[in-house]
Protein backbone atom coordinates (compact mmCIF):
# COMPACT_ATOMS: atom_id res chain seq x y z
CA UNK A 1 0.00 0.00 0.00
CA UNK A 2 2.97 2.31 0.57
CA UNK A 3 4.13 2.10 -3.04
CA UNK A 4 2.85 4.54 -5.59
CA UNK A 5 1.49 3.42 -8.97
CA UNK A 6 3.67 4.27 -11.93
CA UNK A 7 0.77 5.83 -13.85
CA UNK A 8 -2.55 7.29 -12.88
CA UNK A 9 -5.68 6.47 -14.83
CA UNK A 10 -7.99 9.18 -16.08
CA UNK A 11 -10.66 8.03 -13.67
CA UNK A 12 -8.27 8.29 -10.72
CA UNK A 13 -7.23 11.76 -11.79
CA UNK A 14 -10.85 12.77 -12.23
CA UNK A 15 -11.70 11.64 -8.71
CA UNK A 16 -8.75 13.56 -7.28
CA UNK A 17 -9.66 16.71 -9.18
CA UNK A 18 -13.22 16.43 -7.98
CA UNK A 19 -11.72 16.62 -4.50
CA UNK A 20 -9.95 19.81 -5.52
CA UNK A 21 -13.20 21.23 -6.84
CA UNK A 22 -14.89 20.49 -3.50
CA UNK A 23 -12.27 22.68 -1.83
CA UNK A 24 -12.69 25.39 -4.43
CA UNK A 25 -16.47 25.31 -4.28
CA UNK A 26 -16.39 25.57 -0.51
CA UNK A 27 -14.26 28.68 -0.83
CA UNK A 28 -16.60 29.97 -3.50
CA UNK A 29 -19.64 29.47 -1.26
CA UNK A 30 -17.92 31.34 1.56
CA UNK A 31 -17.01 34.16 -0.80
CA UNK A 32 -20.60 34.38 -1.98
CA UNK A 33 -21.74 34.88 1.58
CA UNK A 34 -19.18 37.64 2.02
CA UNK A 35 -20.00 39.59 -1.13
CA UNK A 36 -23.79 39.17 -0.80
CA UNK A 37 -24.43 38.70 -4.48
CA UNK A 38 -27.69 40.28 -5.62
CA UNK A 39 -29.56 39.30 -8.77
CA UNK A 40 -29.38 41.67 -11.69
CA UNK A 41 -32.58 43.65 -12.02
CA UNK A 42 -33.78 46.50 -14.16
CA UNK A 43 -34.64 48.55 -11.07
CA UNK A 44 -31.02 48.56 -9.85
CA UNK A 45 -29.46 49.51 -13.13
CA UNK A 46 -28.30 53.12 -13.37
CA UNK A 47 -30.55 55.24 -15.55
CA UNK A 48 -27.90 57.68 -16.73
CA UNK A 49 -25.54 56.85 -19.55
CA UNK A 50 -22.15 58.11 -20.56
CA UNK A 51 -22.35 61.32 -22.59
CA UNK A 52 -20.75 61.33 -25.99
CA UNK A 53 -21.15 59.65 -29.33
CA UNK A 54 -21.43 55.95 -29.95
CA UNK A 55 -18.70 54.13 -31.88
CA UNK A 56 -18.88 54.40 -35.67
CA UNK A 57 -21.14 51.88 -37.37
CA UNK A 58 -18.08 50.20 -38.86
CA UNK A 59 -17.06 49.17 -35.33
CA UNK A 60 -20.36 47.35 -34.86
CA UNK A 61 -20.09 45.80 -38.33
CA UNK A 62 -16.58 44.58 -37.52
CA UNK A 63 -17.69 43.10 -34.19
CA UNK A 64 -20.54 41.21 -35.87
CA UNK A 65 -17.91 39.50 -38.02
CA UNK A 66 -15.26 38.96 -35.32
CA UNK A 67 -17.51 37.87 -32.41
CA UNK A 68 -20.57 35.65 -31.98
CA UNK A 69 -22.96 38.46 -31.09
CA UNK A 70 -25.59 39.67 -33.54
CA UNK A 71 -26.36 43.35 -34.17
CA UNK A 72 -29.16 43.53 -31.62
CA UNK A 73 -27.02 41.91 -28.93
CA UNK A 74 -24.21 44.37 -29.67
CA UNK A 75 -26.59 47.29 -29.25
CA UNK A 76 -27.70 45.92 -25.88
CA UNK A 77 -24.09 45.35 -24.83
CA UNK A 78 -23.24 48.93 -25.77
CA UNK A 79 -26.04 50.26 -23.55
CA UNK A 80 -24.75 48.09 -20.72
CA UNK A 81 -21.19 49.25 -21.38
CA UNK A 82 -22.18 52.92 -21.14
CA UNK A 83 -23.97 52.31 -17.85
CA UNK A 84 -20.95 50.50 -16.43
CA UNK A 85 -18.63 53.35 -17.43
CA UNK A 86 -21.03 55.78 -15.75
CA UNK A 87 -20.86 53.66 -12.61
CA UNK A 88 -17.06 53.68 -12.78
CA UNK A 89 -17.01 57.46 -13.13
CA UNK A 90 -19.32 57.93 -10.14
CA UNK A 91 -16.97 55.98 -7.86
CA UNK A 92 -13.67 57.30 -9.20
CA UNK A 93 -11.55 59.11 -6.57
CA UNK A 94 -10.70 62.79 -7.14
CA UNK A 95 -7.55 63.49 -9.09
CA UNK A 96 -6.45 65.85 -6.30
CA UNK A 97 -7.93 67.49 -3.21
CA UNK A 98 -10.66 69.87 -4.27
CA UNK A 99 -10.53 68.65 -7.86
CA UNK A 100 -13.19 66.62 -9.70
CA UNK A 101 -12.67 62.91 -10.20
CA UNK A 102 -10.49 61.89 -13.09
CA UNK A 103 -12.48 60.77 -16.13
CA UNK A 104 -12.71 56.99 -16.48
CA UNK A 105 -12.53 56.21 -20.17
CA UNK A 106 -13.87 52.67 -20.08
CA UNK A 107 -14.71 49.98 -17.52
CA UNK A 108 -12.26 50.11 -14.61
CA UNK A 109 -11.03 47.08 -12.66
CA UNK A 110 -13.39 47.57 -9.72
CA UNK A 111 -16.44 47.70 -11.99
CA UNK A 112 -15.15 44.71 -13.94
CA UNK A 113 -14.86 42.70 -10.72
CA UNK A 114 -18.43 43.63 -9.78
CA UNK A 115 -19.70 42.41 -13.15
CA UNK A 116 -17.80 39.14 -12.87
CA UNK A 117 -19.14 38.61 -9.35
CA UNK A 118 -22.71 39.82 -9.60
CA UNK A 119 -23.67 39.19 -13.21
CA UNK A 120 -21.65 36.12 -14.13
CA UNK A 121 -21.40 34.46 -10.70
CA UNK A 122 -17.62 34.33 -11.01
CA UNK A 123 -16.86 34.15 -7.30
CA UNK A 124 -13.34 32.83 -7.35
CA UNK A 125 -9.91 33.36 -5.82
CA UNK A 126 -8.57 36.92 -6.07
CA UNK A 127 -5.52 35.69 -7.98
CA UNK A 128 -7.77 34.16 -10.63
CA UNK A 129 -9.99 37.24 -10.88
CA UNK A 130 -6.93 39.47 -11.20
CA UNK A 131 -5.62 37.26 -13.98
CA UNK A 132 -8.98 37.31 -15.80
CA UNK A 133 -8.78 41.12 -15.78
CA UNK A 134 -5.17 41.15 -17.00
CA UNK A 135 -5.89 38.84 -19.93
CA UNK A 136 -8.58 41.11 -21.46
CA UNK A 137 -7.37 43.50 -24.16
CA UNK A 138 -6.53 46.97 -22.86
CA UNK A 139 -4.23 49.44 -24.54
CA UNK A 140 -1.98 48.91 -27.58
CA UNK A 141 0.21 46.45 -25.64
CA UNK A 142 -2.60 44.85 -23.63
CA UNK A 143 -3.21 45.10 -19.90
CA UNK A 144 -3.23 48.90 -19.82
CA UNK A 145 -5.89 51.24 -18.50
CA UNK A 146 -9.64 50.73 -18.62
CA UNK A 147 -11.59 48.26 -20.73
CA UNK A 148 -12.93 49.80 -23.95
CA UNK A 149 -16.11 48.75 -25.73
CA UNK A 150 -14.54 46.59 -28.45
CA UNK A 151 -12.38 44.69 -25.96
CA UNK A 152 -15.39 44.32 -23.66
CA UNK A 153 -17.40 42.67 -26.45
CA UNK A 154 -14.58 40.41 -27.61
CA UNK A 155 -13.96 39.21 -24.08
CA UNK A 156 -17.64 38.52 -23.44
CA UNK A 157 -17.87 36.65 -26.73
CA UNK A 158 -15.31 34.14 -25.44
CA UNK A 159 -16.82 33.89 -21.96
CA UNK A 160 -20.41 33.50 -23.13
CA UNK A 161 -20.25 31.99 -26.62
CA UNK A 162 -16.67 30.84 -27.03
CA UNK A 163 -15.66 27.66 -28.79
CA UNK A 164 -13.89 24.93 -26.86
CA UNK A 165 -10.61 26.17 -28.33
CA UNK A 166 -11.27 29.79 -27.26
CA UNK A 167 -12.32 28.77 -23.75
CA UNK A 168 -9.24 26.56 -23.42
CA UNK A 169 -6.92 29.38 -24.54
CA UNK A 170 -8.63 31.77 -22.11
CA UNK A 171 -8.18 29.46 -19.11
CA UNK A 172 -4.57 28.76 -20.07
CA UNK A 173 -3.80 32.49 -20.25
CA UNK A 174 -5.34 33.01 -16.81
CA UNK A 175 -3.28 30.21 -15.25
CA UNK A 176 -0.05 31.29 -16.97
CA UNK A 177 0.73 33.80 -14.23
CA UNK A 178 3.80 35.37 -15.81
CA UNK A 179 2.45 35.14 -19.38
CA UNK A 180 5.51 33.31 -20.68
CA UNK A 181 3.56 30.64 -22.54
CA UNK A 182 3.94 27.89 -19.93
CA UNK A 183 2.22 26.84 -16.71
CA UNK A 184 4.97 25.71 -14.36
CA UNK A 185 4.95 23.74 -11.13
CA UNK A 186 5.44 26.96 -9.18
CA UNK A 187 2.44 28.58 -10.84
CA UNK A 188 0.28 25.51 -10.21
CA UNK A 189 1.38 25.53 -6.58
CA UNK A 190 0.48 29.20 -6.11
CA UNK A 191 -2.92 28.79 -7.76
CA UNK A 192 -3.92 25.75 -5.72
CA UNK A 193 -2.42 27.07 -2.49
CA UNK A 194 -4.36 30.32 -2.79
CA UNK A 195 -7.57 28.31 -3.09
CA UNK A 196 -6.87 25.78 -0.35
CA UNK A 197 -5.62 28.33 2.18
CA UNK A 198 -9.12 29.76 2.31
CA UNK A 199 -10.42 26.59 3.89
CA UNK A 200 -10.79 26.64 7.71
CA UNK A 201 -8.74 24.19 9.70
CA UNK A 202 -5.85 23.85 7.25
CA UNK A 203 -2.66 24.69 9.19
CA UNK A 204 -0.08 23.81 6.54
CA UNK A 205 -1.54 22.46 3.32
CA UNK A 206 1.70 22.83 1.35
CA UNK A 207 2.45 19.10 1.25
CA UNK A 208 -1.03 18.28 0.05
CA UNK A 209 -0.83 21.04 -2.56
CA UNK A 210 2.47 19.65 -3.86
CA UNK A 211 0.88 16.23 -4.21
CA UNK A 212 -2.00 17.74 -6.16
CA UNK A 213 0.43 19.65 -8.38
CA UNK A 214 2.26 16.45 -9.27
CA UNK A 215 -1.02 14.66 -9.90
CA UNK A 216 -2.31 17.33 -12.26
CA UNK A 217 1.08 17.79 -13.94
CA UNK A 218 1.11 14.11 -14.91
CA UNK A 219 -2.10 14.67 -16.85
CA UNK A 220 -1.34 18.12 -18.30
CA UNK A 221 2.33 17.74 -19.23
CA UNK A 222 1.76 15.68 -22.36
CA UNK A 223 5.34 15.97 -23.68
CA UNK A 224 6.80 15.37 -20.18
CA UNK A 225 9.18 18.34 -20.20
CA UNK A 226 8.27 19.55 -16.69
CA UNK A 227 5.94 22.42 -17.70
CA UNK A 228 2.64 22.78 -19.54
CA UNK A 229 2.42 24.51 -22.91
CA UNK A 230 -0.84 25.54 -24.55
CA UNK A 231 -0.58 22.51 -26.82
CA UNK A 232 -0.12 20.23 -23.78
CA UNK A 233 -3.08 21.84 -22.07
CA UNK A 234 -5.29 21.59 -25.15
CA UNK A 235 -4.59 17.88 -25.62
CA UNK A 236 -5.12 17.10 -21.94
CA UNK A 237 -8.43 18.98 -21.80
CA UNK A 238 -9.65 17.17 -24.92
CA UNK A 239 -9.04 13.86 -23.12
CA UNK A 240 -10.39 15.02 -19.74
CA UNK A 241 -12.66 18.12 -19.80
CA UNK A 242 -12.52 18.41 -15.99
CA UNK A 243 -8.96 19.69 -16.36
CA UNK A 244 -10.22 22.89 -18.07
CA UNK A 245 -10.66 24.70 -14.73
CA UNK A 246 -8.40 22.55 -12.59
CA UNK A 247 -6.81 25.56 -10.86
CA UNK A 248 -9.90 27.67 -10.21
CA UNK A 249 -13.02 29.05 -11.87
CA UNK A 250 -12.30 31.50 -14.65
CA UNK A 251 -15.42 30.98 -16.79
CA UNK A 252 -19.07 31.65 -15.96
CA UNK A 253 -21.22 28.57 -15.58
CA UNK A 254 -23.32 27.56 -18.56
CA UNK A 255 -26.39 28.43 -16.51
CA UNK A 256 -25.19 31.98 -15.85
CA UNK A 257 -24.11 32.48 -19.44
CA UNK A 258 -27.48 31.29 -20.74
CA UNK A 259 -29.38 33.46 -18.26
CA UNK A 260 -27.39 36.57 -19.22
CA UNK A 261 -27.87 36.02 -22.94
CA UNK A 262 -31.58 35.47 -22.41
CA UNK A 263 -31.80 38.73 -20.44
CA UNK A 264 -29.77 40.51 -23.11
CA UNK A 265 -32.13 39.43 -25.87
CA UNK A 266 -35.25 40.07 -23.76
CA UNK A 267 -34.16 43.64 -23.01
CA UNK A 268 -33.40 44.04 -26.67
CA UNK A 269 -36.99 43.32 -27.64
CA UNK A 270 -38.52 45.60 -25.01
Taken in order of first residue, the domains within the chain and their CATH numbers are: 12-39+50-92+100-269 (1.10.238.10)
Q: Identify the segments of the chain with pLDDT beneath 50.
A: 1-16, 18-20, 22-52
pLDDT (0 to 100) of residue 197: 56
pLDDT (0 to 100) of residue 270: 55
pLDDT (0 to 100) of residue 199: 52
7 backbone dihedrals φ, ψ, rounded to 5°: -140, 145
- Bridge partners of residue 94, in order along the sequence: 101
Cα separation, 114 vs 143, in Å, equals 18
pLDDT (0 to 100) of residue 194: 78
pLDDT (0 to 100) of residue 252: 93
Q: What is the pLDDT of residues 27-44, one digit of tens each?
A: 444 344 333 333 444 444
pLDDT (0 to 100) of residue 90: 76
Give the residue from 164, 170, 218 showing the smallest Cα distance to 10. Answer: 218
pLDDT (0 to 100) of residue 47: 38
Amino acid sequence: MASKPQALSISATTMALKGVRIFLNAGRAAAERRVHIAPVSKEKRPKSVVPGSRPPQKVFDSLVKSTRFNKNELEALFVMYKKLVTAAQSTAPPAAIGQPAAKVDGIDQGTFRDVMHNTFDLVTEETILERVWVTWERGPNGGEGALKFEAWVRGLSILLKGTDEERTAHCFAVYDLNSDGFITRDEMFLLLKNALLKQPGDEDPDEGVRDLVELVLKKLDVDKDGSVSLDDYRQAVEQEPLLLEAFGQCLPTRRQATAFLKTLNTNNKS
